[in-house]
Structure 1
Amino acid sequence: MPKWPGRRKKLSKEEEDPGPPNGYALLPWLLLGLGSFSNLINGKSPNPWIGGLGLLAFNSLYISVAIRAFVKEKRTSRTQLYLLGAMAAVTYALAIGYGGVWLLYFPLLALAVGTTLRKRPLVAVLLVIVFSAGWLGAVEGDSPWDPWTIGYASFISGAVTAALLELSETVRELRSTRQELARTAVEKERLRFSRDLHDLLGHTLSVIVVKSEAARRLAPRDMDAALAQVADIESVGRQALTEIREAVTGYRDASLAQELERAESALLAAGIDPVVRLSGPPLEPQTAALLGWVVREAATNAIRHSKANRCEITVDGDSERVRLMITDDGRGVGSDAPGSGLKGLTERLAAAGGSLTAGPGPRKGFRLVAELPVDTDTAAEMEHSA
């Protein structure tokens, strides 16, 4: 089968997540005990049956400890400590009873300790093994170098094994954290897209419905006005397609000026008299974009639910904060699906250091108030996280 350029090779489970080695990787170290086994076969060690049973017990305990050490629940269990204690007892008994090459079981004991213990318990137990192995090497060894070689080999076996396994565990945790961060990023992107899609389609479809109704009413008596409404529907539809494409790619900014113009047109078509007041210094693009989303959602809700005759949109601010207030004289209903659009806007503004409050007006109708700091960096960070 031909390999197309850029085609990704399917990785095996081991290639995708190699992780730390398992306990079987430590079994070849048992070859250190071949010398003692040879002594038993050649009759150089007294009481061969006792030595053979000790050798069998040590190997069995070593294999159990090594395999269990790579399962965290088993490694930290009391059973693992009991097995390690029994292994230490057998090691010291063989070293005291036979000496010589049997002292080489101390490095294996230290290796097993390194696979099981961590931090302070590891240091304490490893020091005991190293010094006791050195002392027994001086007493029971065949060479004056035995205290140093046995002690050093025990220290290296335990310390290096523990360091490598702890590093492997850290790498695995980092890999797991990276995967979790990737999942979180995907969830955030899905949330961003669902919010944008809700805001875009909710407003656009409301405008199309209102203008279609207006065209239907005007058609019998004023065909030119009806055709003008139809042309507006076409324009709104084309603009919606462009905005949806931009929302998919993540680059859309809801311009406040454009949204105010569209809100005026949509409110007029719905029979609601719009009043727009602007004051204060020019806004940063990111701040204006956030307020544009608020205007879009508020205008959509007013058209759908308010039954209002008048809607006022006021934008004022200073060098530190900007305030957007939208009020109508309708029946005091902001949305028939609480928490859908307004909840998303509240979260967006809160992430940018602002706030959004919505509820019945002081006399009647519905009022929505949005406040934002005039801070480009904060708004940009909000847009990125949203």
Structure 2
Amino acid sequence: MEKIQFKTQIWTGDQALDGLDQLNGQKIFLVTDPFMVESGAITKITDHLESQNEIKIFSDIQPDPPITKIVLGIKALEKFEPTLLISVGGGSAIDATKAMKYFAKKLGKDKKDLDLIAIPTTSGTGSEVTNFAVITNSEKGVKYPLVTDEILPKVALLDAKLVESAPQNITVDTGMDVLTHCLEAYVSINANDFSDALAEKGFQMVFKYLPKVSKDGADMVARQKMHDASCIAGMAFNMVNLGLNHGIAHAAGAQYHIPHGRLNTILMPHIIAYNAEMDDGITGKPNLAALKYANLARLIGIQAINPKMAVKSLINTIIQLRRQLKMPASFKEYGISEALFDKTQAEIAGAALKDGTTATNPRKPNCEDVIKILNLSFS
């Protein structure tokens, strides 16, 4: 028996931010990144809150939130004694807030569980509806997933006005992360009818709307659709986990500091080929992953005479999309030196195999498999 539930309420569409007007008499600990404060963009949130609530803004957040910043946030939170948490930002700000929520409860005297409203300003991580958070040990260069329903936001607020000014590189990086979430959830060993329905819809939305919003950031229909697609993909993988693409990305990201979505996109064609066992050729018997990839190919109009031909065409279509979005095709093209790659690949492979997301990959990889994928991704 499977038990499937969605604990997070979603506020989406025009005037979604107006939902904040209903908050009254709260002590709100608002976590965001420095840019939101320095640019004044945080007023899009605080204007709805200031007249009826007390607010403390914590903005000491950086990409790949390190444990040291989480500790500082917990100290500030405990001093303020809030009644509500609000997180505004990309995956790093939301993940940091989740970690603060979790450890503040575990370490606090009263064990108080604070509600969290997550307001994403990027369309990619899906963190606003997941029980995942990733924090980093900067000294060791290791990322640690935190996975528990205790960190699920109570509300996810999706308003495209908050991503309207996102630059093209951020838009495509996060958008391709959405595509990775859909692909990995769809072929996860835990996949079910409900996660498949969400992954299929999110996958189609990315192919339809990401090129549009990459070309025209002022296309607010496409902006909202990608914001929704990110959330839909998050709902899918929150049920069934991810796979080796994210396992390697977490490990390599800690070493190379390549933006997460960009790193996923470099790996993606090689991961699909590995999972579908494309080394056996296009006429070989398709495994379950190949059949599912072939179905995704059909959903975006790819016609093929057999499943493995469809997978090959899907890989080529993703490569074409990556080129259209002006994203690097390899670690080398991104700027990673051969010396650094040679020095770190064994460590990355070891960390990827231990990563919690790798556990639900449709093929069980070994170190040699990961090293091969890394080498294909380097050049």
Q: Structure 2 length normalisation: TM-score? A: 0.23
Q: Which has the larger radius of gyration?
A: 1
Q: Structure 1 length normalisation: TM-score? A: 0.22
Give 1 or 2: higher helix fraction. Answer: 1
Q: Give the number of the structure with larger relative contact order, counting CA–CA contacts within 8 Å between residues 6 or more apart.
A: 2
